[in-house]
A and B are shown apart, each in its own frame.
Chain A
């Protein structure tokens, strides 16, 4: 029995692929559980999608191969919200605005603010409150 895993992905759909029901097939044909955090279709009819897919490793791999048959680009690190490490000063103003603890202080001695992308649900609250503009949305 294969282990169930969850992967966070960011997908980019070029104009020609935007109207196809691709995610539907991930569920129907590859038995994946999808959890969409954020989706956007631009005025140029390009699409962005950040989601978790949960399923057995083989199914996820087959699903990715299926995605690649379209012109969809797959970013496996799932970075819809990014932090510029050169800009962040680790002040900690974002922490209380982050609902999932993706932004948090683990080391009480250095008080470094860490950003765990895997825990981010892309609510984008941090982008609005960061005084230094360290956080940004990919779309």
Chain B
């Protein structure tokens, strides 16, 4: 048994023993659970992939004369201005003004909110254009200027949903190619795409949210951020394997950090042909080895984690809940799965290569004493389910 204080003391003195969720599996096999739990202080988990429910609040400061922005665009990408005068919210999936979207299907979607966020973090100069209706206190009606992230008072990433605990494997049952947020899926089940770091993924290493909760400190593209709430669509009360691993989506995290401290190589705009734009983010979550139970759960292997194979041509869009079959991540990573007897080639949206890099970067930061852990102030709920949107008649 260890406490957060004890682990943080060891981190501070530069003596913390830190392993990645990838390394811990063989380590526990070799040393045994009890000995390893005494020895190891922290297990680092990580993921790098598209996370659509991401965005940031920007504060521009005041111009002379002042403006109360009522509509605004950064690099022609619309930002939300329904808050204070020079605060805006920029969302990852917002398209650029004038983008033809899917008018000429499949659309190209070359630039959008996610790319603006990438450009901001990379320190590039961006255009702000804003309009206003004008008030006595904010007379300016229009402004066009150029800025970098360093000119802003605040650039704070606030992501309502990151780090999905597990995810679908997308496949196409139809006879034409489909263009989805799971990538391009070829007809007749020719390929399948998955999106999870599997045994390295944060919430798969803490399936019952024993240690990851509101207040947990996380590594967000190099910045030290934290979990500010359960993520949207968080649904802990899901179907699980006997080992406790969710068989589908399940838990999510709402994350925030100071964007000025993020590293550009882990904040990347994403384009899905025929679908839209998004943002790929690199996130690392440290798991404190408080006891043997916590450590045991970090030893989860790709072969113990099941993902549902779902048809994105009909079943997913119609929301009928059908699952063709389940496959594990060891099978997915082999590059080929069997779906109802047919061999299907497998691709991935989530980068294990980058996730591994993040798990090691975070482990190094903790070993150096640069990253202390934070104890959660509220646990994530385990008993909530995801509700559908019901289409109702107008009440009379």
The reply to whether the CB of A111 lies closer than 8 angstroms to some CB of chain B is yes
Contact of B271 among A95, A108, A111, A131 (CB under 8 A): A131
Contacts of B48 in A (CB 8 A): 89, 91
Contacts of A94 in B (CB 8 A): 347
Contacts of B49 in A (CB 8 A): 91
- Tell me, in angstroms, the Cα distance from A92 to B192 when the chains sit together: 12
Contacts of B352 in A (CB 8 A): 90, 92, 111
Contacts of A90 in B (CB 8 A): 351-354
Contacts of A113 in B (CB 8 A): 353
| B: number of interface residues (CB 8 Å) | 32
CB of A94 to closest CB in B, whole Å = 7
Question: In the complex, which residues 50-70 of chain A have their Cβ closer than 8 Å to any Cβ of chain B?
Answer: none
The reply to whether the CB of B273 lies closer than 8 angstroms to some CB of chain A is yes
The answer to whether B348 touches A93 (Cβ under 8 A) is: yes
Residue of B nearest to A86 (CB): B265
Question: In the complex, which residues 73-112 of chain A have their Cβ closer than 8 Å to any Cβ of chain B?
Answer: 89-97, 105, 108, 110-112
- Tell me, in angstroms, the Cα distance from A133 to B280 when the chains sit together: 13
Residue of B nearest to A133 (CB): B271
The answer to whether A97 touches B348 (Cβ under 8 A) is: no
The reply to whether the CB of A38 lies closer than 8 angstroms to some CB of chain B is no
- Tell me, in angstroms, the Cα distance from A118 to B278 when the chains sit together: 32
Interface mask (B328-358 → A, CB under 8 Å = 1, otherwise 0): 0000010100000000011111111110100
The reply to whether the CB of B50 lies closer than 8 angstroms to some CB of chain A is yes
- How many chain A residues sit at the interface, stated as a range, is 20 to 34
Contacts of A16 in B (CB 8 A): none
- Tell me, in angstroms, the Cα distance from A97 to B356 when the chains sit together: 24
Contact of A131 among B50, B190, B192 (CB under 8 A): B50
The answer to whether B348 touches A92 (Cβ under 8 A) is: yes
Contacts of A97 in B (CB 8 A): 184, 191, 347
Contacts of B354 in A (CB 8 A): 89-91
Contact A128 B273, CB 8 Å, known A89-B268, A89-B280, A90-B354: yes
The answer to whether B272 touches A131 (Cβ under 8 A) is: yes
The answer to whether B333 touches A91 (Cβ under 8 A) is: no
Residue of A nearest to B190 (CB): A96
The answer to whether B347 touches A110 (Cβ under 8 A) is: no
CB of A58 to closest CB in B, whole Å = 42
The answer to whether B353 touches A112 (Cβ under 8 A) is: yes
The reply to whether the CB of B40 lies closer than 8 angstroms to some CB of chain A is no
The reply to whether the CB of A123 lies closer than 8 angstroms to some CB of chain B is no
- Tell me, in angstroms, the Cα distance from A93 to B186 when the chains sit together: 13
Binding site for A on B (CB under 8 A): 48-50, 110, 183-184, 186, 190-193, 268-273, 278, 280, 333, 335, 345-354, 356
Closest 9 CB pairs of A and B: A90-B353, A96-B191, A96-B345, A92-B348, A91-B351, A111-B352, A96-B347, A131-B270, A89-B351
